Amino acid sequence: GGEEALRNIKNVKMTAKVDAQGMTLPLEMINTSEGKMIVSFEFQGKKMIQQAFDGETSWGVNFMTQKAEKADAEQTENIKREAGDFPEAFLDYEKKGYQIELIGKETMEGVECFKVKFTKKPLLADGEEVENVTYYYFDTENYIPILTESEIKSGQMKGAISQTVFSDYQEVEGVYFAFSINSRLKDGQGQPVTIEKVEVNVDIDDSIFKFPETEEESGTEEGK
């Protein structure tokens, strides 16, 4: 989308459906220019917050216990480091200290693409700083991203290549959004997300991003 249109975005709310293990779950994602975000889905009629970030604290609801839990320090720090990427990581990339390098041309998903190496500030993995590189494949005709690739740096899948495929682009408020997003391990099946609605600059109650300070939490070991 146009640079001016991007700069006018204060928040984005996406309503979607995700295919998860044979089930279709309603999904809602909200991101703001302050770096705040929340991802929630509906399961058996109940809203579950998968991940939220209020600018300081990252948290989510444990699917098994149904209780809100804070993310660990490393995960929270990594989210903070990338909070300035809204609405588009490439916007003002030099000011952010990011680097772009054109690698060449490659065909991806049947489309001729420019392959671009995008290096952002390092992230933390197991207490160490690791390079933060994503390869973008842009359609050579209209310069929209078709696919991104990056190496998983921690956890059980460490070393594997993660891919995200973008398609069905539609214009909303002068900006193009992919209405079909599929995250997968390289050449794997993945988890398709179908966007049903994108809303820009909606009224949002800021309290939705905040960690719920429950009685259970104040009764933890530290408080005894």
1 pLDDT tier (thresholds 50, 70, 90):
low
206 pLDDT tier (thresholds 50, 70, 90):
very high
How confident is the prediction for the chain on average, in pLDDT? 91
- What tens digit of pLDDT does each residue of 120-165 get? 999 999 999 999 999 999 999 999 999 999 999 988 899 999 999 9
Does the structural domain 3-223 have CATH classification 2.50.20.10?
yes
Residue 62's alpha-carbon distances to 47, 54, 68, 121, in angstroms, are 12, 18, 6, 30
Residue 23's alpha-carbon distances to 19, 44, 184, 192, 217, in angstroms, are 6, 11, 17, 12, 32
b or e along 36-65 (b: 16 or more beta carbons within 10 Å of the residue's beta carbon)?
bbbbbbeeeeeebbebbbbbeebbbbeeee
Q: What is the pLDDT of residue 30?
A: 98
Q: Is the pLDDT of residue 218 over 50?
A: no
Degrees, nearest 5: CA angle 94-97-103: 70
- What tens digit of pLDDT does each residue of 176-190 get? 999 999 999 997 888
- What tens digit of pLDDT does each residue of 190-203 get? 889 999 999 999 99
d(CA 145, CA 136): 7
- Residue pair 71/59 in contact by the 8 Å Cβ criterion: yes
Q: Is the pLDDT of residue 220 over 70?
A: no
Q: What is the pTM of this model?
A: 0.89
Structural domain boundaries of the chain?
A: 3-223
Question: Which amino acid, one-letter code, is at 183?
Answer: S
Q: What is the pLDDT of residue 178?
A: 97
d(CA 213, CA 11): 25
Q: Is the pLDDT of residue 18 over 60?
A: yes
More confident residue, 216 or 218: 216
What DSSP letter does each residue of 136-193 carry, written as one string? EEEETTT--EEEEEEE--SSTTTTPEEEEEEEEEEEETTEEEEEEEEEEETTS--EEE
Q: What is the pLDDT of residue 214?
A: 66
